[in-house]
Amino acid sequence: MGVHTLQTFGPVQAWASLRTELSNRLAGDTLAALDNAVAFAAERHGDQTRPAGEPYLEHLLETVAVLTTGAAMTDTDLLVAAVLHDVVEDTDTELDEVRERFGTRVAALVAWVTKPNPEPGHDPATARARYLARLSKAPDDAIYLKLADRLSNVQRLDTHPRPAKRASYYRETVTTILPLADRHPWFAAWYANWRQTFAHLNDAARP
């Protein structure tokens, strides 16, 4: 059986275009909450860019697109958390501010997907491994957020500017993220197809 064409999301270059696309799918109060979250994220991430040079906000909006147009999710807090999922890890924003502005549940979701700084005496690789292992204990909604986040990161993995990173990211995703996808049928199917689509990275991923 051949590999199906991989469904991709984005690039979403502006919230206005995605908002229009979602206007018949999401309730008005959900769209309003997302308006606030996008404005906050745009301010905090500023001119940050992703490894391939695209504005950081594109990744955040892609994550929303994955959850809504891919996995057909409409949960307001989950979608707001998708917009804010990197704001604590990659800016000076504190989790308490997220909690005050957007509520306890949004903050809890953001906390689940925020990599902690390495503990004294531990290298970044150890901290990352512990973070990924901890995700196995996360509630389903936090897992969906992580799956959408990683999907945005790996859907066009061949465009990453560093070949070695493509290989290691493929291996890490197969080992630690694919098992989490079993919690939701749409994500399970998408990641199974992704694994086949990028199978050429498997040999390159070997030490």
> Which residues are tagged catalytic?
89-90
Asked if residue 26 lies in contact with residue 82, where contact means CB atoms within 8 angstroms, the answer is no
Question: For the packed helices 76-84 and 104-112, what is the interaxial angle rounded to 10 degrees?
Answer: 50
Distances (CA, A) of 57 to 9, 60, 76, 98: 14, 5, 19, 17
Q: Does residue 60 come out as left (phi exceeding 0), alpha (psi in the -120 to 50 range) or beta? A: alpha
CB atoms within 10 A of CB 142: 21
Strand-pairing partners, residue 55, are 49
Distance CA 8, CA 65 (A): 10
Residues 6+ apart with CB under 8 A from 56: 45, 48, 49, 50, 86, 90
Residues 6+ apart with CB under 8 A from 22: 31, 68, 69
